[in-house]
Structure 1
C-alpha cells in the first residue's frame, strides 16, 4: 500500500471511530485529523471535507451489511431455521462490526440531517431485499416491514444501550454472555412471529 493510500485509510478509520462514537454532527474535521495523526490540509487532500468523508464511511458500512445479507440469503433454507440463521448472521455482523449499528443509530436520532439521501439509497433497498427473501416463510399474517425492522431496532438498540445486569452494569456487544443471551432472545422472538402465522393459517 502506498503512503497516499495508507494516509487515506488512516483518515477513514479515524473518521469511522469518531462518527460512530460522536455522530456526524459531533465530529469535526480537526478531530478526525488529530485522531489520524495528520493535519486538516492532509485530510482535505485525501478525502475532501467532512461530508465527503462521511459518505465514504457510510458507503463502506452499507457495503459490509449488504455483503453479509446477500450471502446469508443466498445460503438460506426456505424454512424457519433458515430465517433464524439470517437473523443470527446479522446480529453477529453487528457484534463484529459495532461501528455499523452505531453509525446508523446516530443517523436515526437526527444526526447528519443535511445528508438526506442515504436512507433511500442504502436502507430501503436492503429492507426490500430482506423482506422479499423471507416473505414466503413469514406469510401475510405478520407485518413484514415491522418484523424486519424489529431485528434492526433491537440489534442496534442493544448495541447502543445493552442490558442492565443485577448490579446495574451495562452489558453490551463486547460482553460474550450478554451477546449469547441476546442472540437466543432474537431467535425466540422471530420464531414466535413465524409460529404465530403457522397457528393462524393452520
Structure 2
C-alpha cells in the first residue's frame, strides 16, 4: 500500500510539473517572460507559489524548462524533416515547408523566440547557445554546399526564419486593411509560393 501511495504521489508531482511548464509556456509566449510574475504562473496552474518553487524552482528555472521543451519539440521536428531531406533545391523546399508546418502547429515556439528578439528575458543569456545554436548548426552543416554562390547562408536562413515566424505570429496586411495569417487558406497558399521563390533564389543555380 505504501508503495502504491508513493507511486501516486510521484505521478501527481510529475503531472503538476508538466502542468506548470505548459501554463508557463502559454503565459511566456503571450505576455513575455518579463511581464509574467511567478505568482501569475502559480495562479494559472491552480497552485501556490511555494508549491511551484518546490517543484520547479524560481521563474528563471521555469523559463529554462519552457525553452528546453520548445527546443525538444523543434529538434524532433527537425529530425523528421532531415529524415526526408534530399541534397538539392527540392530538399531545401521540403525543410522550409516542414518548418512552416511546425510553427503553425506549435505557434508558442516562434512566439517565445520573438519575445527574445524584443530583449525579453535579456538577463537569461544562455538560451541561444543551449537551444538555438544546435538547431542552426545542423542546418548550416547540411545546406552549406547548396546555397547559391552570391548568397550568405546565415542571411538566407534568417530571412526564412523571420518570414515564417512573422507570418505565423503576426500575419500580413491585406489590401483591404485586414490582418490575415496561416488560418486563411489563400494567404497560406500565397505565402508558401513566396517561400518557394525565396528558396529558389537563394539556393537555386546562380542565386
Correspondences of 1:44-83 after superposition (within 5 Å) = 44-83=53-92
Contact 1:98 1:173 in 2 (8 A): no
Q: Could you tell me which runs of 5 or more consecutive residues in structure 2 were left unpaired when the two chains were aligned.
A: 1-7
Matched, 1:188 2:197: yes
Partner residue of 1:101? 110
1:193: Cα distance to partner? Answer: 1.9
SS for the counterpart of 1:138 is: coil
Residue among 115, 124, 134 paired with 1:115: 124
Contact 2:111 2:169 in 1 (8 A): yes
1:139: Cα distance to partner? Answer: 4.2
TM-score (norm 2): 0.89
Give the number of equivalent residue pairs: 198
SS for the counterpart of 2:201 is: helix
Contact 2:149 2:206 in 1 (8 A): no
Contact 1:158 1:173 in 2 (8 A): yes
Q: Could you tell me which runs of 5 or more consecutive residues in structure 1 were left unpaired when the two chains were aligned.
A: none
Distance 2:15 2:131 in 1: 27
Matched, 1:199 2:206: yes
TM-score (norm 1): 0.91
Task: Give runs of ≥4 in structure 1 deviating > 6 Å.
Answer: none
Structure 1, residues 133-168: CA drift from partner, whole Å, max 9, x if none? Answer: 112222433110011111111111122321122432
Which of the pair has more CA radius of gyration?
A: 2
Matched, 1:89 2:98: yes
